[in-house]
Amino acid sequence: MTLHDRILALLRTPHYVPLAESGIARALSLPRKERNSLTLEIRRLLSAGDVVQIKEDKLCLPRDADLATGRIQFRQGGSAYVVRERGPSEPEKEAVQIPAENTGVAIHGDRVVVRLSDELSRPHGGRHGGEPTGRVIRILERGHETLTGNLQRTKLFFYVAPDDPRFIHDIYVPDPAGSGVRPVPVVGDKVVVRLHEWTQRQVNPEGTIVERLGRTHEPHAELAAIFHKYRLSPEFPPDVLHEASALPKRVGIAELFGRLDYRAVPTFTIDPDDAKDFDDALSVETLPDGDLRVGVHIADVSSYVRPGTALDAEAQRRGNSTYLVGTVVPMLPHELSNGLCSLVEGEDRLTKAVLLTFRKGRLCATAFANTVIRSRKRLTYRQAFALLKEDNLEKIRRMPLPPAHQTGSTGRALSDLRRDELADLQRWIRQLWDVAQRLRRERMRNGSLDLDMPEVKIFVDEQGYADRLERIEQDESHQLIEEYMLAANEAVARVTRLHRLPSLYRVHDDPDEEKLLEYRKELATFGVAVGDLTQREEISRLLFLLRSHPQGYTLRTQLLRSLRKAVYRASADGHYGLAKQDYTHFTSPIRRYADLVVHRVFDQYLVKHLGQAAPRGFQFGYNVARMESLAQHLSLTEQNSTEAERESQKVKLLEFFEREAAKKKKTVFNAVITDVRNHGLFVELPDAMAFGLVHLSTLRDDLYLLNNAGTALVGRRSKRRLELGQKISVVTERVDRFKRQIDFRLNS
């Protein structure tokens, strides 16, 4: 056991009393010659926040001194919360609420030490009490050395207004003419500023401009700022590109050895209109006894991305692809993601398959294999939906393709198919849906929660500006794919768990009961009465009620925030949302490194337990400890990508409505009143997934006053009521890109 571990073990003993360094030396029976090593190790532990000093320089664990360590997350109003760190076997702890006046010189994302107070948090900013509070007493590690923002100046000095509204202080900077940055940044530019040490809260932080990204609010500058903030790189290192370029352009005959040949079996992909990387395909075949066998074929990325290569190291570092509006930061180079691994129409592709056999709609057998396929058709969700719902084949054949599909399409259009080919395609799609809808019904009956949310896709023009919004519904075509992907993920997770193979699992822990109680109180303010939300059946009933509720989207979003986040883990601890004991990610190895790792576990199962030939160059070098380390890393990269994608959506949504505000002929949007205040109406635009304010000053037809119940603005003369839950139509009034606020006015 190392000295580091011995110190921590001592401090963790149940009857440990805080000791100074000399006392720890005696307790550990350290000889005098090791005292210098003890001093050095204690400094390291203090710096890392693993131990803290209290009175008389005595040492203890943070938990024993009413202290906690963790990452601080700010809100726009200036208050914050600290997500507490925990050991591998420790349960998740409640976040510590930090009032604005107690944040010290902390910056969003810093690793800090907080002293817990005896009081619980009070209702604040829409949040309710019951959580521990504290104040920041030490900065252990800055979360960011640099940040992006808009260069401004007063008569006396220059400053940078941070892009992130959670960073509430402007950064003072020297005259950019002396920064050495070329071209010289000018007022209104988007810049990167390196922060200096900040020690006095009453004085604004200072920094130095180190890079100019472009003019603020221009698409390329905003995108560059997101890349910088979330440490995303659209470019790959030279050694990675060299390895990718050395890969074959097509699947060779030698690579087919040991694989089941599915090239003659009807197989196709179903993806969004503008998809360019296709990592899953479905095959369908009717067996001699009448059973239906559905193959879930997943791109075999592991055949090309081997452990120990630069390709693998870079894919692991990235963790996943990041999908920003108008662009993608891929996990793998184009040669793989859009080429050799993508299951394009009409090309041989290596895949890993879960073969599901159904008898009278019920799963009766599951098999696993490495396969080779040749997709017969690249379908979009729109086309698959039409094949499900429309009986007139000629009408389907004449379906217009959206521009995104016309430019990004691979393979033949539906209009190019013979009538018999189109009829076969429709029959296979309907066969798949007959089984999928049964799987979905059974899943919901077993307690799975329908947490799918409608999405809004933002399209950009040639210059990169937000140009069009489109609401994406999770219709039957999406549900068809979802059910087979869920079934494949579950099947692989179950077999790896039962055979005790080190693997990664997708885990969604049970929700915190107190958070559900607070959410239940929040529902009551919207007139939604529910029972005990710790009962899965009650949450299912609530989700059904919210489908038709005026504030349904908002309340469903709040429910998701009340649940724990799904993470990766090395143990199959169950998935609450899906009501499954066994679940993993297996179906998207082009865009998720976790799936690539699980594919290697899949091969280990085929070789070790089914006696199949090992793929060429196959090595399995994983153990449980390695998997746990990977799980933590991939959970973090996923969270980082999710935040970047949300940021991109927000920026582009603001850009879209800013352009709407500038139009002479304004677009009319449907809206729902979600809150009523004396200064105006808060509204939600369901078709755009946007929120904003109709300010009282724009209601010029009468003098409107808030009623006694606080649920409506009422015209004094006309008695016109604008009340909570009411549907209205609005146009865009103004947009503040810096405050990230959209104002609307009624469409009169």
Please give the backbone phi and psi of residue 500, each rounded to the nearest 5 degrees, phi first: 55, 45
pLDDT tops 70 at residue 374: yes
Mean pLDDT of 664-690: 93
Distance CA 89, CA 259 (A): 41
Exposure string for 467-487, b = 16+ CB within 10 A, e = fewer: bebeeeeeebbbbbbbbbbbb
Q: What's residue 91's pLDDT?
A: 64
Mean pLDDT of 690-703: 95
Q: Where are the domains of the chain?
A: 3-62, 66-141, 146-216, 238-507+569-652, 513-563, 663-746
pLDDT tops 50 at residue 532: yes
Which CATH code fits 66-141? 2.40.50.690
Q: What pTM was estimated for this model as a whole?
A: 0.87
Distance CA 279, CA 363 (A): 24
In 187-261 the beta strands, taken as DSSP E runs, fall at 189-195, 207-215, 260-261
Distance CA 388, CA 382 (A): 10
Using DSSP's 3-state secondary structure scheme, residue 430 falls into: helix
Q: What's residue 404's pLDDT?
A: 47
Indicate the fold that domain 146-216 takes in CATH. OB fold (Dihydrolipoamide Acetyltransferase, E2P) (2.40.50)
Distance CA 75, CA 422 (A): 54
Instruction: Give the percent of the chain with pLDDT over 90.
Output: 72
Please give the backbone phi and psi of residue 75, each rounded to the nearest 5 degrees, phi first: -105, 165
Same fold, 3-62 and 66-141: no
Query: Which residues, at least 6 apart from 524, have a Cβ–Cβ distance to it below 8 Å?
Result: none
Mean pLDDT of 649-654: 96
Mean pLDDT of 36-47: 89
Query: Which residues, at least 6 apart from 33, have a Cβ–Cβ distance to it below 8 Å?
Result: none
Contact 18, 64 (CB under 8 A): yes
pLDDT tops 90 at residue 714: yes
* Top-tier CATH class for 663-746: mainly beta
Q: What's residue 121's pLDDT?
A: 53
CA distances from 312 to 243, 252, 614 (A): 10, 22, 19
Name which of 742, 731, 690 is nearest 471 in CA terms.
690
Residue type, 396: I
- Model confidence over 114-162: pLDDT tens digits? 988 866 554 443 344 567 899 998 898 898 899 999 999 999 999 999 9
Query: Which residues, at least 6 apart from 498, have a Cβ–Cβ distance to it below 8 Å?
Result: none
Query: Angle between the 419-445 and 381-389 helix axes, to the nearest 10 degrees?
Result: 90
Q: What's residue 554's pLDDT?
A: 84
Average pLDDT, the chain: 91
pLDDT tops 60 at residue 409: no
Q: CATH for 3-62, among 3.10.290.10, 1.10.10.410, 1.10.10.10, 3.50.50.100?
A: 1.10.10.10
- Model confidence over 319-338: pLDDT tens digits? 999 999 999 999 999 999 99
Q: What's residue 126's pLDDT?
A: 38
Contact 331, 315 (CB under 8 A): yes
Q: What's residue 214's pLDDT?
A: 96
Mean pLDDT of 5-20: 88
Mean pLDDT of 687-714: 94
Contact 598, 501 (CB under 8 A): no
Q: What's residue 577's pLDDT?
A: 95
Query: Which residues, at least 6 apart from 350, have a Cβ–Cβ distance to it below 8 Å?
Result: 251, 255, 259, 299, 300, 303, 370, 371, 372
- Model confidence over 380-407: pLDDT tens digits? 999 999 999 999 998 888 887 655 444 4
Q: What's residue 407's pLDDT?
A: 41
3-class DSSP string for 97-129: EECHHHCCCCCCCCEEEEEEEEEECCCECCECC
Query: Angle between the 624-661 and 310-318 helix axes, to the nearest 10 degrees?
Result: 60
Distance CA 338, CA 472 (A): 24
pLDDT tops 50 at residue 70: yes
